[in-house]
Every structure is written in structure tokens, then in C-alpha cells.
Structure 1
Amino acid sequence: MVLIIITVVMYVLATKLYKKIPFPFMLPVLTVTASMICLFLIFDISHHEYRENGGDILSGLLSPAIVALAIPLFKERNILMKNFLSILIGVAVGIVALTSMNVVIGGMLNIDKELIVTTLPQLATMPIAISLADQIGGITSMTSSFVVVAGITGAMIGPAVLKFFRITSTIGKGVGMGCASHIIGVSRLVKEGEKEATIGSVTMIVTGILISIFIPYGTKFIF
């Protein structure tokens, strides 16, 4: 139970710190993860011990977190309906492109199937990605790492990539960042504008829904 308290306290402090220093490397999901890894190494705590001493309680909150995503989706339903086709096409292309790339590159490098499927849910936000990885036979702990890397990478280089390809529209920025780097990328969009961030949030949720449908059936077909 002590480890849970430490985790929650560290996250609260990291969130407050990020509000004062809104830099990609200061994202709570990154700083807390790095801090917990250091704590595990210093005190020789295994992941299994962490789960036995309360970690499973936090994991159990993932399911309610997934359901809770319906709340912002309902609140922003007008934006969703107005830009439904653009968001749907953008998300679908993103999911198919990433899935195809991971499978093709993994096959060329003779990477184990378990590792390939572990990478597939990385476009989804954390609760959905972990649940999906467990469903398709992936390694959930590694999937969470891929999700974090995708989010941080998107937050750091996403705006530059959009600028390079001359994507200046509000819907283009929102869909691109929301699909590729989920909540971490969306938090970066706040600097671009409120509408971009709102579209990014809606896109992130739609991505989670579509990837939850596509990936399980896609993996059965591919493998």
C-alpha cells in the first residue's frame, strides 16, 4: 500500500511541476515512470512485488478510466458530428498505416509475433492500449512503454512535422496529433489553440474506439 501512496503523491507533484514547467520531458507520465524505475532499482523492488503490494489496485482502475472517456466524447459531440468524416478517415489511415508498417518491418527483421502485436496498440491511450495488448496476447508492460514513447515523440516533434508538410488547418493539426500521440500530444496542442486541442481530444477517443475494433480482428487475419 505504501508504494501506491508514493506513486499517487509523485504523480500529483509531477502534475503541478508540469504546469509550471510545460516542457515535453517534464510530462508526468515520463517523470513519474523514471522516478519509479529509480526507486525500484535503489530498493531492489520487482514489478511483481509492486503489483502484489497494491499495484493491481491501480491497474484495476484502467477499466473505469476507459468508460470515462465517453464523457468528453459526449460533451464534444457537436465537434465530432461536424468533423466526423475528416476525423474518421484520418484515424483509419493512421491505424492502417502504423499497423502495416509494424507488421511488415517486424516480418522483415524476423521479430517474434508476441513482440509485434505488443507494438500495435500504441496509438491508443494508455488504459485502452494495455487492455488491448492483454487481449491480443501482447506484453502489457512493454505496450505501456510504446504508448509513452509514441506520446512523447509526438509531443516533441509533431508540430515540426506538421509544419514541414505544411499542415496548417485546425482539423489537420488536431487529427494528426490526437491520432499519433494521444493525450500527451493533445496536451501539446493546447499551445496551438483551444479548438485544435478539442479536436485532438475527440480524435484520441475515436482512435481508441476504432483501434479496439480493428486490432483484434486484424491480428487474427494477419497471424
Structure 2
Amino acid sequence: MGMAVYAASDRSSSAEVGRLTRHSFSFGPHYDPTNLGFGPLVCHNDDVLAAGAGYPDHPHSELEIVTWVLEGTLVHTDSTGAQHVVEAGRVQVLSAGSGIRHSEVADARLGGCRFVQAWLAPSVPGREPAYVLGEAPQPASGLVEVAGGDGLPIGTSGARLLVARLAPGDAITLPEDPRQHVFAATGAVSLEGLELRDGDAVRVDDEPGRVVRASEETELLVWSFG
């Protein structure tokens, strides 16, 4: 593959009352046999919710579900009886394991919410469900591991989610792993001559350590697979 760009304008989308979801991979009725996943990553959704809207109670099993909140506040409730408030700049990991039910809605008191959610295949099936919520990482000049590695634990071996908040002119080097999924959540960057803007992604599976440079303020999300 080398490097392949997936433009935001080419993503399929699903709309419900108070909710718009853009899908990076084949998802539900938007079936695409040529775009079923990237390594263990089988879903990468970009959700915008109106206040009080979202996903009512529904089941999951055998998935590692990682959510990064970009704007607003997301309220997570699950069948273990737990309720968590996930603010912008925080990450949650739900290990669905043998089965769990949960809901996710934008806090009705605080307005809308935007988040990016990834689903990954677990390395070991049948585990007990688990949930963990991380603190917001401090802004840094480079990529910060928020899940996997030194971040929150993920039940998918070798998977890491890294986030960078970049000012114009900032440059970062992608991890030394065989595969990366690079997503410009906001802003604009260049990657070895490829230009990415809000919602664009590039999948890299050839040469690790490529350089990304921001041309404006950018929030960059990188899934890296060792």
C-alpha cells in the first residue's frame, strides 16, 4: 500500500435526529468489501452530537472501543452500573469482552459534543468486560500516548493511540511501527507531500518514521500498530 489518502469527502455517513456519524471504514449498511479495516482497526467513526443526543443503550462484545472526545462532554453509562463524564481532551477505553451494554450521549446541560471512536479486535477473546477513563494529557510538542503503550490499557497487542496538538510549523515524526493510521481531526498538515485537512486520513504501511508538519493549528490522532 505505501501511503494511501482517504479524504473526508469520500467517507460514508449516517444521520439520525441530533447525530451525524462519518465512517472511515465499511460500517453497517455502508458495506465496502475493499475497506473493511486496517490491521486490528475495524471501525473509526467521527461523531457529532446535539445536546442530549447520542446512542441509547445497546450491546457490544469482543471489541476494544476507544473514544477520544474533541469537543464538548460525553456521558457514558454501562451495564456494570457505572456512569462517567468524558470531557474534551480525555480518552476512554471500553473492553467489551464477553458482552456489555452501554449508552453514550452528549451532556444535555452543556451543549453538543464531537468525538472520534475506534473499534479494534481484541488479542484474547472472552475476557470480562472492563472500562477505564484517562486524564487529559498535557499539551506537548510531540505525540502523546493516550491509549496503549504508556496510555490506558488496550486489549489489542501492539496497538497505540497517540495524539498531538500542533501549532503552525510544528513537525512530528511518526512512530517506528510497521503501520499507522493518521487522522487530521482538525486543522491541516502535510505528510511527505500529501496534504491532510479536517477529517482526512492517510494509512501508512511501508516506511516508519515519516514526518508530519502542521500548516495551521491541528489536532492529530495517530493509531500505530507494532
Larger helix proportion, structure 1 or 2?
A: 1
The higher radius of gyration belongs to 1
Question: Which of the five TM-score ranges fits, normalised by the shorter chain?
Answer: under 0.3
- With structure 1 as the length reference, what TM-score do the two structures score? 0.24
- With structure 2 as the length reference, what TM-score do the two structures score? 0.24
